[in-house]
Amino acid sequence: ATPTSIMVGTGRAAELGVLFRNGEALQSLRSTEVVAFDKTGTLTAGKPALTDLEVAEGFDRDDVLALVAAVEGQSEHPVAAAIVAAAQEDGLAIGSANGFEAVPGFGVSATVGKHRVAVGADRYMEKLGISVQHFSETSQRLGRKARTPLYAAIDGKLAAIIAVADPIKPTTLQAIRALHDMGLKVAMITGDNRRTAEAIAAQLGIDEVVAEVLPDGKIEAVKRLRAGGRTVTFVGDGINDAPALAEADIGVAVGTGTDIAIESADVVLMSGDLLGVTNAIALSRATITNIR
Ligand code: ADP
Ligand code: MG
């Protein structure tokens, strides 16, 4: 592309809420074959709400929720906010937590009163040597409904299964359909539960799912998608998306995301609307056509 067509292209993009941080991205985006999205906060709103809480025998629902909320009060994960909000809505007295520990991609634990409380994914319980077998069927049912199953353990005993659901953004489905119409493959990369990820992917018509990825594993996931020389655009918003944004052929940061994601990207969407991605690719294609 000529410098003039790049100037026109980036100017037009800015009007559409798409910021090209370099002219190279405007040219290279047209050759993308796969668009891979982070799930939480990118395809979805990143604002989960608690939908289910089932306790094991011998545990009281409100007591468990109050203990878990005390731990999550120390966490910055979106899931934590959902659990704290649910406890507050129920008017529960939330105690204070000591000795808080967060294991990224797994879960969190702390001491509340005289209890050690842990909450997180099945792999966190596994790490702690606590079987989640008891809730196996419930977990499968929740996953099929696109809800994320989490587990709470109190003093080393499985106490509850908790589910959260994160709404898909209003234009996500439309954006994915547009990408398919452009002849592209669409992928999802997430740390979430496989069954949950697959249920969301099915709702959205996503072609490839890489689930249960650890926070530092997204870069590997992008590498896998790039195998065979495929050109991959990765779209993400979070701190742990930054390395994947750099690894992808083209990194697109959602403007509502973290600063570090924005700094690692070639393209920044001014809003969280993923139609910005299709606009950006369409513009890239148009810019090249202009000079022919
Ligand atoms: P994602 O943002 O894609 O869900 P993360 O790597 O942040 O990926 O987390 C992976 C999983 O670890 C979450 O889906 C959740 O099951 C669990 N997890 C992480 N942090 C917490 C927390 N504070 N409370 C409960 N579960 C958590
Ligand atoms: Mg995210």
pTM of the model: 0.93
CA 75 to ligand 1: nearest atom: 23
Are 69 and 118 contained in the same domain? yes
Q: Is 186 helix (H, G, I), strand (E, B) or coil?
A: strand
Are 35 and 172 contained in the same domain? yes
CATH number of the domain that residue 180 is part of: 3.40.50.1000
> How many domains does the chain divide into?
2
Task: Determine the Cα–Cα distance for residues 111 and 67; give it in Å rounded to an integer.
Answer: 9
Q: Which of 165, 182, 201 is the last residue of a domain?
A: 165
* Cβ of residue 43 lying under 6 Å from some atom of ligand 1: no
Q: Which of 165, 186, 211 is the last residue of a domain?
A: 165
What domain range includes position 220?
3-45+168-290
Are 69 and 160 contained in the same domain? yes
* Cβ of residue 215 lying under 6 Å from some atom of ligand 1: yes
ipTM of the complex: 0.94
CA 39 to ligand 1: nearest atom: 3
Q: Which of 126, 147, 165 is the last residue of a domain?
A: 165
Are 36 and 66 contained in the same domain? no
Backbone Cα Rg of the chain: 21
> What residue's CA is closest to ligand 1, atom 1?
191
CB 50 within 8 Å of CB 86: yes
Of 164, 216, 166, residue with least CA distance to 191: 216
The confidence score (pLDDT) of residue 292 equals 47
- Number of Cβ within a 10 Å radius of residue 15: 8
Are 160 and 265 contained in the same domain? no
pLDDT values of the chain reduced to their tens digit, one per residue, 292 residues: 677 888 888 888 888 899 998 888 998 999 999 999 999 999 999 999 999 999 999 999 999 999 999 999 999 999 999 999 999 999 999 999 999 999 999 999 999 999 999 999 999 999 999 999 999 999 999 999 999 999 999 999 999 999 999 999 999 999 999 999 999 999 999 999 999 999 999 999 999 999 999 988 999 999 999 999 999 999 999 988 999 999 999 999 998 888 999 999 999 999 999 999 999 999 999 986 555 4
Which ligand approaches the C-alpha of residue 210 most closely?
Answer: 1
CATH number of the domain that residue 135 is part of: 3.40.1110.10
Are 271 and 215 contained in the same domain? yes
The confidence score (pLDDT) of residue 5 equals 83
Sheet holding 34-38, edge to edge: 18-20, 267-269, 250-254, 232-236, 34-38, 185-189, 208-210
Are 204 and 175 contained in the same domain? yes
Are 25 and 114 contained in the same domain? no
The confidence score (pLDDT) of residue 288 equals 62
Are 218 and 231 contained in the same domain? yes
* Cβ of residue 61 lying under 6 Å from some atom of ligand 1: no
Are 36 and 88 contained in the same domain? no
Are 231 and 263 contained in the same domain? yes
Task: Determine the Cα–Cα distance for residues 160 and 59; give it in Å rounded to an integer.
Answer: 8
* 38 is known as an active-site residue: yes
